[in-house]
């Protein structure tokens, strides 16, 4: 899939009386890791759901390359190469690590709706043909030794890595990560961070939504700070860290 820049142009979303996302504009270029931080309720997950096509925009536009994907449905967005992870781990706990990654290839062929697919045990029979490809991904991320371990037996940090590998099997050109290191210790987070760097190094853009400031600062070239739905600061980590509005709204809190 040809990599394209994701562009948000004046994106807004209203829930009743609440403007959860207000006039947000930024872009994520191929190979770039862009951070999105902000306190609880800032609108981060809403923004991810808008990009992923799970919520409609109230106003504004979302573009992938030159294509306007503002009104595209979730399966269409997934087919366009935008993949996402969720705030909670979604793996088949009784199935092997290898099968969990292979399901990513299967989803690409059949239905990009992983959540729906994961509810269908019958799908497992069809993933065997893609096991070799899945194994290659495991090798790349030093997880080959876990190939035949049930996913549910892994540590939380390793489960998150398996999720990332499954996402990669979709061959996305952009990945949306909603709090990928929540609940991890620094060692686990850093291991995942190196995987993200490897993914970005292949030209895949990453939008990293995170609470863990240290982690975001270490990975992102550019960080957008969201507060009450609005971008209050945007720039390189050092600049954002010392921005008075950010300190007041977020870091100081
Ligand atoms: P974050 O992910 O940054 O914690 P959210 O995007 O989940 O923030 O929420 C932003 C705001 O939008 C909050 O005020 C939240 O209550 C509201 N909100 C989110 N989703 C819905 C929804 N489906 N219906 C109504 N309000 C919502
Ligand atoms: Mg959230």
Tell which residue, 157, 170, 192, 193, has the closest CA to residue 101: 170
- Of the residues 41, 54, 178, which should be mutated to test ligand 1's pocket, given the most ligand atoms within 8 Å of the CB? 41
How far, in Å, from the CA of 127 to the mean position of ligand 2? 32
Distance of CA 234 to the CA centre of its chain: 19
The better pLDDT of the pair 211, 111 is held by 211
Average pLDDT over residues 160-171: 86
The pLDDT, as a whole number, for residue 118 is: 58
- Please give the distance, rounded to the nearest whole angstrom, from the Cα atom of residue 51 to the centre of ligand 1: 15
pLDDT at 63 over 90: yes
Cα-based distances in Å from 166 to 4, 17, 101, 224: 21, 38, 4, 27
Q: How far is residue 21's CA from residue 12's CA, in Å, rounded to a whole number?
A: 5
Q: Map residue 205 onto helix, strand or coil.
A: strand
186 pLDDT more than 60: yes
Contact yes or no for 69/161 (Cβ under 8 A): no
Question: Ligand 2 centre and the CA of 132: distance in Å?
Answer: 35
Angstrom CA distances, 84 to 207, 209, 214, 250, stand at: 9, 11, 22, 25
Q: Given a cut of 60, is residue 112 above it in pLDDT?
A: no
Q: For residue 55, is pLDDT > 70?
A: yes
pLDDT tens digits for range 10-38: 999 999 999 999 999 999 999 999 999 99
Residue closest by Cα to atom 12 of ligand 1: 20
- Asked whether residue 115 carries a pLDDT value surpassing 50, the answer given is no
| Percent of all residues in the chain with a pLDDT value above 70, rounded to a whole number | 88
SS3 category, 66: coil
Asked whether 56 lines ligand 1 (CB < 6 A), one says: no
**pLDDT tens digit string along 204-219?**
999 999 877 889 999 9
- CA 9 from chain centre, in angstroms, equals 20
Q: SS3 of 249, please?
A: helix
Give, using CA atoms, the residue closest to atom 17 of ligand 1.
20
* pLDDT mean across residues, the chain: 87
Q: Where are the alpha helices (DSSP H) in the chain?
A: 44-51, 74-79, 97-109, 114-117, 131-140, 156-169, 186-201, 213-219, 237-241, 244-246
Shortest-distance atom of ligand 1 to CA 229: 10
Longest dimension (CA), the chain: 55
> Does residue 38 have its Cβ closer than 6 Å to ligand 1?
yes
Question: Which strand (E) or helix (H) includes residue 36?
Answer: strand 33-37
Q: What is the pLDDT of residue 2?
A: 64
In angstroms, the CA 72 to CA 92 distance is 28
Structural domains present in the chain: 1-81+172-253 (3.40.50.300), 92-169 (no CATH)
**128 Cβ contact list (under 8 Å, min separation 6):** 102
DSSP 8-state symbol, 5: -
- Using a pLDDT cut of 90, give the percent of the chain over it: 55
């Amino acid at each position: 899939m040809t990599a394209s820049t994701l562009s948000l142009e004046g994106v807004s979303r209203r829930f009743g009386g609440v403007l959860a996302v207000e006039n947000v504009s930024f872009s994520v270029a191929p190979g770039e890791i862009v951070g999105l931080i902000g306190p609880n309720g800032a609108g981060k997950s809403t923004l991810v759901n808008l990009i992923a096509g799970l919520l409609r925009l109230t106003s504004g536009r979302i573009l992938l390359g030159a294509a306007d994907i503002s009104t595209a449905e979730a399966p269409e967005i997934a087919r366009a190469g935008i993949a996402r992870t969720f705030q909670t781990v979604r793996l088949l706990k009784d199935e092997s690590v290898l099968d969990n990654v292979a399901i990513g290839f299967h989803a690409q062929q059949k239905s990009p709706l992983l959540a729906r697919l994961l509810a269908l045990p019958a799908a497992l029979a069809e993933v065997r043909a893609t096991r070799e490809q899945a194994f290659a991904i495991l090798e790349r991320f030093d997880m080959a030794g876990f190939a035949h371990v049930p996913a549910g037996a892994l540590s939380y940090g390793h489960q998150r890595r398996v999720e990332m590998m499954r996402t990669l099997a979709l061959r996305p050109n952009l990945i949306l990560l909603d709090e990928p290191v929540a609940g991890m210790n620094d060692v686990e987070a850093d291991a995942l961070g190196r995987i993200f760097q490897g993914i970005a190094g292949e030209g895949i853009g990453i939008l990293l939504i995170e609470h863990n400031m240290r982690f975001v600062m270490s990975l992102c070239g550019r960080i957008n700070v969201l507060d009450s739905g609005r971008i209050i600061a945007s720039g390189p980590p050092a600049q954002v860290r010392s921005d008075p509005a950010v300190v007041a709204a977020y870091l100081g809190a």
